[in-house]
Structure 1
Amino acid sequence: MITEIKLKGITSYKNEVIIPELKKLNFFFGSNGSGKSTIAKYLYNLSLNEDNRLLNISNCNQNGYNPIENEILVYDENFIKRNFIDKDSLNGIFSLNEKNAIIDDIIEKEQDLIDKYKLYLKDKLTIERAKILKDISDREKKLKEDCFKKRNQYNESFSKLSLKHSGNSANHLSEIRKLRKDNKEKNHSFNDLQNSYNLLYEKELKKINSNIDIILYRKVRKLEFKINNILQEVIIGNNDVDIADLINTLGIKKWVEEGTGYINLTLEKQKCPFCQNDTIDKEIIEKFNDYFDINYKNKINEIENLKNEYSDLISLLNENFNAIKNETNSTTINELIADFKDFIYDNEKTFRVKLEKSNEKKSLRSILEFKTNLKKIINDIKLNNSVFENIVTNKSKLDNEIWERLAFQSKSIIDDSDLEISKLNNRIKACDRLKIYINDKIANSEKIIDENKENTVNTNIAKDNINTILRSSGLSGFEIAPKTTENNITQYYLKRENYNDSVFKTLSEGEKNFISFLYFYQLCILTDDENKKDKKKIIVIDDPVSSLDSQVLFLVTTLIRELAKKKGKSPNHNEFALPNIEQVYVLSHNIYFFKEVTFVQGSNNKLCNDLNYFQITKINQQSSVIKLHKNNINSDYNLLWKGLYTLKSSSNNDMNIVISNLMRRIIQSYLNFTRLDNIEWNIINDLPPEEPKRIIFSALISQINDDSHHTSPFEEMHYQKISNTTPELLFEVFEMIFDEIGKEHKEAIIKYVTA
């Protein structure tokens, strides 16, 4: 049993409110909006697991509730919605069991989910997957095309070379991927590939038998070294001869030397070979011979001999070059031969100048100048002959290198495309996973439907009991009859003989509520779940009398009092007669109902004696609960109403002062009880100044407070008029006020005091 409730942070219970000393039987009274229904909602949510709770009750607490031992049953407006369910498709059919209603709702929701899942699979997921697959196909097609276009450069530049897969872009891409997988993509120079192609395909390739004569080249190099040594020497005649200065000064040594060759050494005197005068005699001849001595002549002769030897070697080397040219007309050999002619000419000139001016130092141009080109020619010949001898292998190598370069050129295209396709494939996988997930959800929903179809509650006993009460209450002419839906859940409709249309839609809200309460009563005395048969029930009843006529209201109060009936004889009066009931809460805003349900019938009182009364009020949007020492909700207050409506029938103006006094006490009592505020002028605070009701209410309040100190800005204007009015007019305005502050309360209590 719950002994205490703490409410905080829900609806109007902003600050902590503690409801202490809860008994077996607990009566709560409060006006509409005071926070009364929040207590019922808290207790209902307390019975739910955390995932299903409709209120955040984390800041609330209670003492005594044990969900293993107790079952909380709450009757309120939400119970009516949960258990008396109008189906649009089956007008007039409703459930008499919350569990059946929940099951029916679960099946309907699960079936809706199945339909939505299947529709999603068909209209969205399948279309989305097809779109992604098309994107993948388009990207793969474009990748094949882009990679295949890389062949164009080679098709144009290597026209005699036929690359494989020339008509199949898919096979071309597969070949590129294989090379990349084997890490064989290489950025070969296009010029190198083109040179190889020209050598293998464009030239009439043949073996070159000639080659640079390395031995001859080395002889020339060796001879150049020797020649340059002597060319660097300063070679002069005998300076001791008196004509030496003249020859050296005039620089006519070579000229003189050549001229002596034309002199006859046997003659005493002869003509000069240059001037043809008889100037040459024995003496001058001897001087010439002394000047051009044997050392000088030997040096000159050595230069002449080296020159001849060098010329022979150069001539042989030149022939070697020309022999190579005859076999290959390469640019390198042609340039070499042309440059070699200049080389020969320059060196011949060097020899000539040295012989003329032997005292000048000279040097030959070295054959070393051609070393680079000579090496290139040697390598070209070697390459040519190697290619010639391995032409099939070399063509295959060129083909492989072209593919390796194609693979390198396609690298970024393939990587970018693969990345995008990978993303799309991940989306395909996500679609497939989602499809599996949705199919699992469909299977789970189908399983839930099957399980719930097996767990429906048989409500035939409750149906029979309700029909019995309906007949005994005077609500004859119709009964509750069973009807089964397509979900195999027993539902019921209101059946009337000789009436084809649904009786349900002809019922008032009060009658519908009464039928719902009858079923709630059955839940309290029976059980709708075999698993709960041993649990004791905590029963919560919140305002069960809305829109009920007096006859039905009496039946409801009687049924509630049956639930709260005490057990046996003393000392068991603190227990309930029904052993499956642990505790009862009754909450209402209707004073007449409250009086009836709490009425203590003297020594014949049937209610459980372990009971308490509570009053619920709300000020400044904050609810509070006060424990009352006794049930003083309806005694003197009801007498005021009864006295007032006794005077109403007198129609005596002289009684206006008594009527006004009663009205003032009733209004103040009501305001004090419902709002903790007995200042009746506050009634008009929320009315606009121009509102006619404000003027009328103010006038009446002025009249009924004739003997008080309250004032009003409208008092002078309306006082005389009200004091001279008939009682009927006072009652009319009085009822208008209660229509504003508590219409249901007014109607209920007038019905009570005028009965």
Structure 2
Amino acid sequence: MTKIIKIKEIGNFSIFKNFHWDQNLDIGNNKTYDFKDINIFYGRNYSGKTSLSKIIRSLEKQDTPPKYDNPNFKIELSDNSIISHNSLATFTHPIHVYNSDFVKENLKFIHDENANIESFSVTLGGDNQQILDRIHELNAELGLNEENIKSGVFLDIQNKENEVKNATEDHKSKERDLEKLLTDKATRNSDSVKNQHSLFGDINYNVTKLKNEIAEVQSSNFQILTDDQLITKKALISQNELPNPPELSTYNLNFSQLVEVTTKILKTVVGGSNKIGELQNNPSLNSWVQTGHTLHKDRTHCAFCTNEISAKRHQELAQHFDLETQNLQTRITKGIEHLTNLINGEHFKINFNIDHYYQQYHTELLPLKVELTTILEKQKEVLEQLKTLLANKNGHLFTSLETSYPPDHTDEIKKVIEKIEKIRTQCIQQTDLLTNQQKEAKKDLRLNHVYHFLQDINYTQQNLDINSALQAIEPLKIALSTLQTRKTEITVEIKNEEDKLKSEGEACTRINDILNHDFGHQALSLQAIENPHAQNIYFEIQRNGCKAHNLSEGEQSLISFCYFLAKIQDDLDKGNKPIIWIDDPISSLDSNHIFFIFSLIEEKICKDKKYSQLFISTHNLEFLKYLRRITGAEQDRSIGFVKEENRKASYYLIQRHDNFSTIKEMPLYLSKFLTEFNFLFDQIYKCATVNQIDDSNFHIFYNFGNNARKFLEIYTFYKFPSSKYQLDTQLKAFWGEQIYKTLTDRIHNEYSHMTGVLERGEIISEQPEMQKSAKAIISKVQQEDPAQYNALLESISNPN
């Protein structure tokens, strides 16, 4: 069950500024004097009682009262949660607050007789609002529904219907505009898809097909055509059927075999003992001599120098250029001739004409043609290098040559040829597939055309605009439906409210039962009056059977509080355990009616404890005296201390200090006995027993003169209640000794007056005689009447 523990902070609310509960209501041991089930506040008028009730009423209304600048407060609940001025809606426990705002809202006739007593309508168990005011509010909200004059909800409905109509037309207009663009592109314009059927391939094209293809081109898988693809596909469309392309020449050059033959030749060495060393070591000279030897086989003299060639020299040269040498040279010559024949042979004449292929393959074949030519030339260069190696061997017949061979391009050549052959195969197959491929090419061109059309008309944005226009309609329709529902609700509520006006019996009975009580106000009553013009019932306060005018403040308070009790009775009877806050229900009431109000609270609210918490504030000391007897605070009525854990009621004092107020724990002399006599005894007792004067107790001495004089006046008057009472005489009788009377009288009189002792006003009062006087008074009371003395001690919570 939710309860209010404390008003933790009041930063700003009317007379309360920067109030902190934990600072002002600290009772030690890290505890504070918090709210209990029953909580009583006492404060003079204008001290801030109503301001506190308005803070709590904010929980009931879930809103702060109007005309309060920057209200700021925090309320701590029993579950340790905090409700602030910004989170009032989170408080859901039933709560009822009786204060001036409640009276103004529910009983307007009290403050404005011209408002008509109709505004005082009571429907217990319902919303408990002013029915006729509510009907007026509802009719004002509903407004007029004349042909040329509309207002309220009727005008709002008319305006919203126009907004729905305009939004619907805007949406349809955008749809029509886009539909026209699509239809023109599909069939109507000269550049429509249908009119370009030779290119796009569908003479029966229409807007439905266009919409289907729009969805296709907007797919994430769709790819627009490149410029090369456009050229290729257009060429494919215009392509006629071709014969099969010629086969390519076969490339079967065995390069590894050529390398092997060349290697053997390079490693062959001509040698022996009959060789001429000078020629062996000089290849150029050897070649020159070999040529000369051939030319001089049958000569005896050198044709160059005419010197004789001896038979021996002929023999030496014949042995040097023997058959072995000739065989090697023959091998070299044949090898070079073979390589030359290969270079000039069919192996390197592989070629093809791309015109024998369909146009769609030209883009792929052109780089292959260039690549094949390049690789063949590279392979020729490799064979030329082999020829060079053999030619070089001719000059090194007598040594073995080591060399590294250039790379073979045979695999590259074959790969290119394979690619070309693959395309050739496709081209041959293309003849059979050409019709279908041309159909696909036309579709690709058509989709590509549709894609660019969508970009040109900003199709995506147009659809967004259409969707936005469509989405704008639904909220307007919902708002219109809400208004129409509200119109129905208002009509039904008006009917219900009018019906409520006719169910006045229970309300009148409850309030009249209270007013007609023996201790109530039997002259006043609540009567239901039928209004023949409005066909409803209103309520009238009557005095002795006639309409009551000029109600006194006491009558107003009584009627208002009776209405409040009648209003909350259902909540109490249903066991909802509401929180109840009653702010100062006593105003200009005599003692009988003050006790009557207390009795109503006791009987209707407290007797069976139908509440979860009860808060009551008052400025009336007599009413405060009664409140101490309320059911549920029994332990607080006992004399002496009550343990904090056993305390069921809390008593608070609201004090105003110039422009701000604060909340404090109520002094015991107010919460327990409610007399100034107890307070004065408390001050004198503290003065008599204090051990050291400091800032916390200096006021006891400063006010001692007044307090002691007033206490003795009260004490001696009740002790000697003579009509000829004279304080001087009674003090003599009280003290019994003149010296006590003289000394104490000087202290009491001098320190409660400044006349004649002006110089004493210039210094701070701190006289040891004050404590002596206080001890004397306490001792005298104890001697004179021990029972009364002990009772006074208990009243200030100092039992001995």
Band of TM-score, shorter chain: 0.3 to 0.5
Between 1 and 2, higher relative CO (CA 8 Å, sep ≥ 6) is seen in 1
TM-score (norm 2): 0.44
Question: Larger radius of gyration, structure 1 or 2?
Answer: 1
